[in-house]
Structure 1
Amino acid sequence: MSARAATATGARPGWDRVTELTPPVVLPVLEALELLERGEITVQGRITTASNATLYCAIELSGMAAACVYKPVSGERPLWDFPDGTLAEREVATYLVAAATGWEPVPPTVLREGPLGTGMVQLWIAHDESFDIVGAINSGQLPALQRMALLDAVVNNSDRKISHLLPVTGAGRSRPAESELHVYGVDHGVSFATENKLRTVLWQWAGDPIPEEGIDVLRRLAEQLQAGLGEQLSRLLTGAEVRAARRRVQRLLSKGTFPMPPTDWPAIPYPPY
């Protein structure tokens, strides 16, 4: 979503700005989740280039204010291949799986009531616009992108565009890493289909062995999907979708390799950016 490149101090093309924008704030995950769950949401702008209603908001709680994304269910456009009114839940389900990996590949995300009804609320990430994310994708050398590719395979993400990848420096994430740039992924509303719909710009590792850290994560996910994580997902997805997620994890573990591009479905989103 290219509109995420907008700074917090002014409007860019594709924006309807209502007021001065509250800037993004870097927060530890637990603090961010409390703010997102309990804070008061004020809509400040709208990303007009997004296909569904996507609002830039301030969220405030006990003197703390930060920027967040709010996507109300009422603003979701119907899709031919996903049930109506389910995109917000799929975004939250992806966050729960992402959080279980321990990699923090998705910003803190919750499902709650907002000014326009129930919707997804996610901490806004101020990413590093100077970083060459296309070059990093093409090189296939950035571990954070490889981890994202594995997450996408687990959740069956059918829309991993370049603009859905937000690179940040160590100071821009909740657990700063001095030696490695971090990448957040956003916009996961079209995930968790029961049939294979993986569509992504991250095919650089197709057919390659999954590294040991990825295998360890998949083993943990397999266990958690049979327990607490599976119960959480069952409140957001259908039983068939949760079972399909378990099968994808088991298939990845059985093969031990990253998936290959589909032959009966477009492998790359259009447009890719």
Structure 2
Amino acid sequence: MKKLNIFKIKDYYVIISVFIILLVFYISSFFVDLYNFNGIRDWMVEHDGFNVPFLWNYLFSEGGPVEILQWLFIGLFMMTSSYIAGISTRDQKSSRSRFWFLFSILAVLMIMEDAGNIRHFLTTRGVLLFRDEMIYRSITELTYFGLMALIPVYALIRYRKVFLEDKRTAVILFFGAAFYGVAVLMSGTRDIRFWYQTAGNIIYDWTLEFGGDELLAIYETTDQFLAEGGYISISYRFMDFLVEESLELLGAAFLWASSLSYLNFLGDTE
């Protein structure tokens, strides 16, 4: 397998890059949205293209730059996992092949969910037509995510020797699963006792300590517009977009990094 040695992308390149990206996004949003750096926030308020005139909302909302990066990382994870499964099949390493094939299938399902919001379709076009209590939304989404989780759980249990073959890969894969697991648990329970709104209010109040009355006025105007249109509030968006999408991006990056780590492990050992 000497050809694997030409694979130059290291796992830590991806991990360092994603932390830098998030840090840049956080710092930029802090100064633009809270301090109106260079008048950018005012420009967003006046621009018709920004119904929610905040940089963090633009960066972290659905279909925004952060989610697009998630799709990229998950797609690359799928490709790398498929490649490992392919070369393992060629070399008659059946357990290794099946392990990474299962993760490539998981990646396909993750892209479908992330881009198509299948769980929202199941709830709004299915369960909520008959049961309008929010608890049924949570039960449906957690069940859906639970079924998806059976794939990696089965892979990790059935082919645990492959998982533990390289400790570095195991640690990175664990963190990828952990980031996604927390995001999924948050998303699935977000409407139970309206805890997303409550937690978002804490971030809302914290930002006002920096932005003051001027920021509060923009918040109130924006929230009024969102309420009239039936959209989620700013406080809710802090959790649904800023926090949740950050965790998902970290999860996607670590998952791809885990496959790169294993690929480099193969290049060093075979």
Same fold (TM > 0.5): no
With CA pairs under 8 Å and 6+ residues apart, which has the higher RCO, 1 or 2? 2
Bigger-Rg structure (1/2): 2
Higher share of residues assigned strand: 1
